Amino acid sequence: MLTELQKGLSLNTQKIIKFAEGLSQEEALSRPYDAVNNFLWNLGHVTTVRNTIIKVLNPTEKLTTYENERELFGNGSILQAEDAYPDLNFILGLFEKRGEKINELIEKVSEEYLDQESTIKVGPNPRSNEALLWFFYNHETEHLGEMKVIKNIINRLKNA
C-alpha cells in the first residue's frame, strides 16, 4: 500500500530530529540572510502540513493544534517577532507525534479511498488522495533540505 511513504516520512523525521540536535532556540530562529526562513519556521511549517496529511488520510480525524499555529506556520505566513514562536522542542515533539499518527492512519486507509479525488485542493489540478499524500511528502522533503542547509550554516558560523 503506502509502505514506501511510511518509510520516507519516518526517515524525514529521523533526519529532522538529527538536524535539530544541539540547536538553541536563538539558533533555530536565526537566518543567514533576510530572504530565507529560519529553521524553526521550516519545522513548524512541515509540522502544520502533517496535520493536512492527517486530514487527507482521514477527513474526520480530530487534529491537535496550538494557538496561532496557522498564522505562524501556515501557507503564506510571514515571519513574526522571535518571541511569537513556540519552543523548538515543543514543535519537534508535535512533528514526531503527527508522524506517528500518519503511520497509524496509513495502516487503515483503503486503496479505494486513496484512488478517489481528494477534497483538499492544492494547485490547479484535481488529485487523488494518494497523489496528494506524495505531493505533501515531496514538499516536506524540500523543507528538510532547507533545514539541513540552515543547520550547516549555523555550524560553520560556530566554528569560524
pLDDT of residue 123: 73
* pLDDT above 80: residue 132: yes
User: What mean pLDDT do residues 43-56 have?
Assistant: 97
pLDDT of residue 128: 95
User: What mean pLDDT do residues 86-98 have?
Assistant: 97
* pLDDT above 80: residue 138: yes
User: What mean pLDDT do residues 115-130 have?
Assistant: 88
pLDDT of residue 1: 66
CATH topology of domain 3-158: Four Helix Bundle (Hemerythrin (Met), subunit A) (1.20.120)
**Whole-angstrom distance, CA of residue 119 vs CA of residue 60:** 12
Q: Which amino acid is at 14?
A: Q
- Domain layout of the chain by residue ranges: 3-158
